[in-house]
Amino acid sequence: MSKVQQEISDFIHRGMDSHLRLAVTGLSRAGKTAFITSLVNQLLYSSTHDNLPLLLSARDKNLIGAKRVPQSNMMVPRFAYDEAIDALHSQPPKWPEPTRDVSEIRLAIRFRPQKGAKKWLAKSSTLYLDIIDYPGEWLLDLPLLNMTYSEWSRHQFEHLKGLRKQLAEKWMEKVSVLDPLADADEKHLAELSGVYTDYLHQCKQQGLHWVQPGRFVLPGELEGAPVLQFFPFPATDKDTVQKAGKHSVYAMLKSRYEEYQQRVVKAFYKQYFSTFDRQIVLVDCLQPLNAGYESFQDMKNALEQIMRSFRYGRHSLLHRLFSPRIDKILFAATKADHVTPEQHRALSSLLQQMVHPAWQNAAFEGIDMSCISMASIQSTTTGFVTSKDTSTPAIQGDTLEGEPVTLFPGDVPGKLPGAEFWKTNGFEFIGFRPMPSEPDTPLPHVRMDKALQYLIGDKLI
């Protein structure tokens, strides 16, 4: 090929390439890191293994292969894919560590185009896929962008009921004697913020998900910074707020909240969520079923609030701030390998009910949506336990402590269980260690290919 021909061919190739940013959304421990690790792993192996039969370009042998390429943003650490894979292949296999900071990965996925001009002009085309990983807790701050300090405070106090109220007792006692008009003492505010942060940690330990501000429990590089030293203040009348001088307790808490909103929350979303095209919302429905009614309602509430701020219409908060161009959302109930296969349908219908308000809103805005149950990294095998003339579905795997078990973990309710339900029923879905796997084979999964087909399949034809 002459130099000119080569240049023309390169030019055509570049014109054929496309680019997609995928937002992986999910509360803490929902399975984001496992999902991203598996997604990268499955695509890297797609050229040598038939690991993605439901991804049509792979099934039809039009997927040439994928590789990791340098990401566009050089200020963000690279997603620790190798470390995650090393953990999964260690002896005994381990799950990747919980995420403590933001990271990014870019994949180049090469395929043979089958449609339109691309098919005639180029033998291959490349889809660049950008994905970021971050601690789930940080997502909980999104709704803060839409609330003033006094609105946020009121909202927090309205939710101090039941278990939350018990856990917050120590902090409430201290805050109740704080004079909003007094001169602010930074040291005292730091101490009270510490007590408030302890309360948030306790909420997490008790299986509650709605923990705001999310950075307080995972501060990253902001550990100890004054921007993380504030807390909600009990209802204060307009008069008091107006009287509060520049150096008062109230003014300092308010200005730190506003700094947090702008410099921490808004900056994070602007950098990472402003330009995504597609979104997957990962939800672990089984953990709150284990933890009980309050935890279940709490997770539903947390999801509702997050999805409300993600509202997709032109008048939405996210649109006003960043104008993303999202056109598809996949809701995925993760860790489906914790239950037997005939429960998978109930798992996805439970998820659909949990996210119903967000679903309605996105549907109204004409966004394409789907709901599935899946396991990014399958950790159990399935089968039947037979005794005499009965045969019961069962799963087999190693518990997180390494104990081999065979069990039927129970029925998943296909509908949102009401308060009454928990009085007579309980759940015990246990966690599993990843299964040992060979380093040169793709990770086992359940419907990862279905998720990929939905999220990127149309970009690979």
Ligand X SMILES: Nc1nc2c(ncn2[C@@H]2O[C@H](COP(=O)(O)OP(=O)(O)OP(=O)(O)O)[C@@H](O)[C@H]2O)c(=O)[nH]1
- Cβ neighbors of 377 (< 8 A, separation 6 or more) are 34, 37, 38, 88, 434, 443, 444, 445
Cβ contact 290:124 at 8 Å: no
Q: What residues from 28 to 47 belong to the interface with Mg ion (CB under 5 A)?
A: 32-33
Q: Strand 278-283 and strand 18-26: pairing?
A: parallel
Residues in binding contact with ligand X, number by CB under 6 A: 24
Cβ contact 180:244 at 8 Å: yes
Residue 277 binding: pick among ligand X, Mg ion, none (C-beta 5-8 Å cut-off by kind): none
Cβ contact 127:17 at 8 Å: yes
Of 379, 449, 454, 460, the one binding ligand X (CB under 6 A) is: 379
Q: Is 209 in the site for ligand X (CB under 6 A)?
A: no
Interatomic CA distance for residues 69 and 109, integer angstroms: 10
Q: Is 376 in the site for Mg ion (CB under 5 A)?
A: no
Residue 375 binding: pick among Mg ion, ligand X, none (C-beta 5-8 Å cut-off by kind): ligand X
Q: Is 99 in the site for ligand X (CB under 6 A)?
A: yes
Please, which residue, 81 or 149, has the CB nearer to ligand X? 81
Please, which residue, 37 or 197, has the CB nearer to Mg ion? 37
Q: Is 335 in the site for ligand X (CB under 6 A)?
A: yes
Q: Residue 224 CB, nearest distance to ligand X (Å)?
A: 21
Q: Is 295 in the site for ligand X (CB under 6 A)?
A: no
Interatomic CA distance for residues 75 and 53, integer angstroms: 36
Structure tokens at 229: 């030293």
- DSSP secondary structure string, 182-221? SBP-HHHHHHHHHHHHHHHHHHHHTT----SSGGGTS-GG
Helices 356-364 and 293-309 cross at an angle (nearest 10°) of 20
Of 53, 77, 98, 245, the one binding ligand X (CB under 6 A) is: 98
Tell which residue, 285, 315, 290, has the closest CA to residue 303. 285
What's at 137, amino acid-wise?
A: E
Of 22, 42, 55, 96, the one binding ligand X (CB under 6 A) is: 96
What's at 42, amino acid-wise?
A: Q
Please, which residue, 39 or 252, has the CB nearer to ligand X? 39
Among 53-61, 71-79, 229-237, 332-340, the segment contacting ligand X (CB under 6 A) = 332-340
Q: Is 343 in the site for ligand X (CB under 6 A)?
A: no
Q: Residue 422 CB, nearest distance to Mg ion (Å)?
A: 29
Q: Is 413 in the site for ligand X (CB under 6 A)?
A: no
- Cβ neighbors of 110 (< 8 A, separation 6 or more) are 63, 64, 65, 66, 124, 125, 126
Please, which residue, 33 or 305, has the CB nearer to Mg ion? 33
Q: Is 371 in the site for ligand X (CB under 6 A)?
A: no
Of 227, 253, 377, 452, the one binding ligand X (CB under 6 A) is: 377
Q: In the stretch 132-151, what mask flags binding to ligand X with x, by CB under 6 A?
A: ---xx---------------
Q: What residues from 65 to 124 belong to the interface with Mg ion (CB under 5 A)?
A: 99
User: What is the binding site for Mg ion (CB under 5 A)?
Assistant: 32-33, 99
